[in-house]
């Protein structure tokens, strides 16, 4: 059960955000509307929302998920792998003190984007990616262990982040796409396999038995509804242009 979410309103400079997409820059006004609808969806799932103000110094700062890992026992400030994103953590630190007594921090030369970290109960899968390095992974695992939590590493080579292709929907249900589909680590789960033509939809978000999914990916929607969840479809077109998905837009705890 999650009760809180932290989000950050997109800034005008989001049009300069990092991307591998060829779709062109996002439409800022459209992104603002999509973000508002996203926040309304979180509220409809019972979440209390803390909204951080837009910050034009950091074009990608609306993707708050990467700047921190919030566990039931401690908050961890990350050290994002992209230089342009590194100081997004400053304001995150301040807001986390409202919720956590224990705040830990990833230190140089470690880098971690928390989009690379997937929580499954008290275990955390940590992607070794272009953004998250081995030193960063080891620091995360050491911190988790201190709070009786565990972590393990998953290597990735194609996706931006671990959660670009994996979403845990509780009750042993795991949405999986692309390079993770045949990974032996995940075969113990009830796998909801996403076809390549819908792989963007693999980034979805379980919140209190609702699942937020991107619009319009009918096969994914049907598979998730078949296992008993109510889905809420959200238009993510402008965030997709920056390689961002649904989970990236909030920290849920
Ligand atoms: C970036 O490249 O860092 C942003 N444009 C997108 C970050 C997406 N975050 C995530 O998947 N957790």
- List, for residues 150-196, the tens digit of each pLDDT value: 999 999 999 999 999 999 999 999 999 999 999 999 999 999 999 99
Residue 43 belongs to a domain with what CATH number?
3.75.10.10
pLDDT tens digit sequence for 64-118: 999 999 999 999 999 999 999 999 999 999 999 999 999 999 999 999 999 999 9
What tokens were used for 6? 């932290």
Range of the domain at 170: 4-252
How many whole angstroms from 74 Cα to the centroid of ligand 1? 23
For ligand 1, whether the C-beta of 60 sits within 6 Å is yes
Residue minimizing CA distance to atom 6 of ligand 1: 244
How many whole angstroms from 37 Cα to the centroid of ligand 1? 20
Q: Token match 């990974």: residue?
A: 183
- Cα gap 208→186, rounded to integer Å: 23
pTM for the complete prediction? 0.98
- What domain count does the chain have? 1
Q: Which atom of ligand 1 is nearest to the CA of 116?
A: 12
- Cα gap 65→45, rounded to integer Å: 18
pLDDT tens digit sequence for 117-139: 999 999 999 999 999 999 999 99
Q: Which atom of ligand 1 is nearest to the CA of 164?
A: 11
């Amino acid at each position: 059960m999650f009760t809180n979410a932290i989000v950050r309103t997109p800034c005008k400079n989001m049009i300069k955000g990092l991307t591998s997409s060829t779709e062109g820059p996002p439409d800022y006004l459209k992104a603002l509307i999509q973000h508002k609808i996203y926040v309304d969806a979180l509220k409809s799932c019972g979440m209390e929302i803390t909204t951080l103000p837009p910050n034009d110094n950091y074009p990608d700062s609306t993707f708050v998920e990467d700047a921190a890992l919030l566990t039931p026992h401690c908050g961890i400030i990350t050290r994002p792998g992209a230089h342009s994103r590194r100081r997004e953590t400053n304001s995150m630190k301040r807001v986390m003190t409202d919720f956590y007594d224990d705040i830990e921090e990833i230190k140089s030369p470690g880098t971690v984007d928390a989009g690379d970290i997937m929580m499954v109960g008290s275990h955390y899968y940590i992607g070794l990616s272009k953004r998250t390095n081995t030193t960063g992974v080891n620091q995360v695992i050491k911190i988790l262990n201190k709070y009786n939590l565990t972590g393990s590493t998953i290597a990735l080579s194609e996706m931006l982040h671990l959660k670009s292709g994996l979403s845990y929907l509780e009750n042993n249900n795991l949405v999986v796409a692309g390079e993770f589909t045949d990974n032996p680590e995940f075969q113990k789960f009830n796998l909801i396999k996403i076809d390549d033509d819908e792989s963007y939809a693999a980034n979805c978000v379980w919140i209190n038995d609702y699942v937020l999914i991107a619009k319009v990916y009918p096969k994914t929607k049907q598979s998730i509804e078949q296992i008993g969840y109510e889905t809420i479809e959200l238009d993510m077109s402008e965030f997709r242009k920056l390689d961002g998905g649904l989970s990236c837009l909030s920290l849920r705890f």
